[in-house]
Amino acid sequence: MQEARFRLRNDHHIVGYRRMHGLRAYFSKDGLWWNGDPLHGFWEDAWTGLKDRNNQYLYVQDIVEFEPTEGSGIRLGVLEQRGSDLGIRCMEEDILYPLNAFGFPLFHGRELRWISYLFLQDR
């Protein structure tokens, strides 16, 4: 069973992280040291279940480099969640590429590279 992780933020500031093991929640300000003392953030960005090629956790609202199809070239995209579906929204073409199809992964972490947070960018 994969644990559920969330990035906690207050507007443009990351205040910490929450991870769930069953019904038990653990909190961390830095993602390294965990305890049961709650941290409060206004928004929670869900973990996609992936780490990038540099072993960094990838959350919804992260901007990543990716290659939609082999040989198509590197693009920038935003990790999005629609209900229970996760995908990468290509910023150049406004196309949503799903992370999984029929239970099979379409992208692996080693194919993605974290660039920035969408919530830090001017819209």
Residues 4-32 have a mean pLDDT of 92
Tens digit of each residue's pLDDT (9 = 90 or more) over 58-108: 999 999 999 998 888 999 999 999 888 899 999 999 899 999 999 899 999
Q: How far apart are CA 40 and CA 18, in angstroms?
A: 10
Tens digit of each residue's pLDDT (9 = 90 or more) over 105-119: 999 989 999 999 988
